[in-house]
Amino acid sequence: MRRLLHQLAVQFVCGLVLCGLCCPRAGAQAAGSAQMKAGQSGGPTGSAGAAQAADESSSGDDASDDVDTIFPHTLTGRYWISGQANVILQGYEGFKAEYSGPNSLTNWAQSATTHLLTLYSGYELSQSTEVFADIEDATGNGVGDESGLAGYVNLDVVRLVAGAPSPYLAQLMLREIIPLTSERAPADRDELDLATSLPARRIEVRLGKMDLTDFFDVNTYGSDSNLQFLNWTVDDNGAWDVASNARGYTDALMAEYDDRSHSVRFAEAMMPKVPFSQFLDADLARSRAENLELEARGRHIVHHEGVVRVLGYLNHARMGSYRQANAEFFQGEAATPDIAATRREGRHRYGFGLNMEQEITNDIGIFGRLGWSDGRNEAFCYTEDDRTLQLGGLVKGSSWRRSSDRAGLAFVANGIVAEHQQYLALGGQGIMLGDGGLTYGREKIVEAFYTAHLWRGFSMSYDFQHVTNPGYNQVRGPVAVSAVRFHTDF
């Protein structure tokens, strides 16, 4: 395993040296946005609106000289075609574990590779109406049997579904823009937003198959697993049980009000029939999710851009109860607590999230999240996390003459409520966790990455994660996970 980790580091260093020798001006040529937007989204998480925007200089032909993609993208055409490929090789050495269970992070030395390829397409039916259709192909495996952590170490694993056909239709969506003023403001054009200018005040409506994390809980510095962090609970708020099927998508109706300094968005979305199911429940009377987010923007600190977002959600589904599962065990009705046996219609799970980002200088930004959920009923869609605290920062490489390079550092502490702790301690299994026992401690994650821009749409990253108390269990771990990521935008 040491040889594997050594090879990961050598590949990264060699790529960085090669970049410096072959294209020393690549970093100087790439441009950033006013908010140091940190990488084109297009993976499983991150809003395209908060993705990296290169300087767009028209050469008289309809296209931009965008150095962050292999092929230039049209700025004035009615259509959009682009794509991305993300390959992640991860591995870790064996770690201490006093015991293991069915959903434990396996504790022997191992490595795994995931591949995610996405083709984006869009078309402007009119100045106010756009349609989008995306095709995706996800293959490979995650380390540790893809379980055993609340903050799992590779977000691309969300797209992997064993035995399901691939490629598949990822998103199919209609966007309608309703102007509330004649004043217009420039807008970035990307795979989810085709208009190059928008009414300064407007209502937007989106309908179809989508990933809610493209629009809610977005963070410029911590939402993109293609070019930034890899951990589930760094790129997203772990306490938000985001409505989605097994691949992270849902059918939803979303409405958004946008003004110069604030936005309000609401989505009514479908829930899966059972946890991590490929199939959504079409009976909205018994199964659905409401999501509401308030966003405020401004230059209130050090005269640089900052954003605060407040999120609330309420999920309705046929959920199981941790308290009931524990009670049935103590009453002798089950050999081990089984939350699946307690599922009843009419149950819900709700929570709140706080998301902030602040540009400190043109090259440095900080971010953070707080998350809380009631935790009484089972985690259904995302991960087993009832409380989360996140702090991090991202630096652009301008000071070392590589302005398209990015480096980031983040810390996350995750936790679960007492009933959830007791359920796992008695041997219960959840959607991600189940060691057969539990000596509870908060799951603490430190993640650092460096992304080197090689040439046009090619980049390579080295990522390191240190996880203490994996799966909230003090008698397992810690585990150190290294990764090399190769990414292409075209």
> Rounded to an integer, what distance in angstroms lies between the CA atom of residue 166 and that of residue 158?
14
Residue 55 binned pLDDT confidence (cut-offs 50, 70, 90): very low
Does pLDDT of 15 surpass 70? no
Q: What is the pTM of this model?
A: 0.85
CA distances from 21 to 15, 401, 404 (A): 10, 13, 16
> Rounded to an integer, what distance in angstroms lies between the CA atom of residue 195 and that of residue 188?
8
**Token couple for 286:** 């018994």
Render pLDDT for 205-235 as a digit per residue (tens, 0 to 9). 999 999 999 999 999 999 999 999 999 999 9
Of the ranges 36-45, 280-289, 345-354, which one carries the lowest mean pLDDT score? 36-45
Q: What is the mean pLDDT of residues 400-429?
A: 96
Kindly state the DSSP code that residue 143 receives in the 8-state scheme: G
Q: What is the mean pLDDT of residues 338-344?
A: 94
Which pLDDT score is estimated for 181? 94
Question: 332 — phi, psi (to 5°)?
Answer: 80, 15
Which pLDDT score is estimated for 48? 36
Of the ranges 153-167, 410-424, 425-439, which one carries the lowest mean pLDDT score? 153-167
Greater model confidence, 334 or 470: 470
Does pLDDT of 300 surpass 60? yes
Assigned architecture for domain 2-489 = Beta Barrel (2.40)
Does pLDDT of 53 surpass 80? no
Element (H, E) at 304: strand 304-319
Residue 49 binned pLDDT confidence (cut-offs 50, 70, 90): very low
Q: What is the mean pLDDT of residues 362-372?
A: 96
Q: Say if CB 155 and CB 232 are below 8 A apart.
A: yes
Greater model confidence, 268 or 72: 268
> Rounded to an integer, what distance in angstroms lies between the CA atom of residue 484 and that of residue 463?
6
Does pLDDT of 364 surpass 70? yes
Which pLDDT score is estimated for 444? 98
Q: Which residue has the tokens 């697993």?
A: 225
Q: Which residue has the tokens 């440095």?
A: 364
Does pLDDT of 160 surpass 50? yes
Q: In the 3-class helix/strand/coil scheme, how is 151-189 assigned residue by residue?
A: CCCCHHHHHCCCCCCCCEEEEEEEEEEEECCCCEEECCC
**Token couple for 477:** 């771990």
* Burial category of 41 from C-beta neighbours within 10 Å (exposed 0-12, middle 13-18, buried 19 and up): buried
Render pLDDT for 112-128 as a digit per residue (tens, 0 to 9). 999 999 999 999 999 99
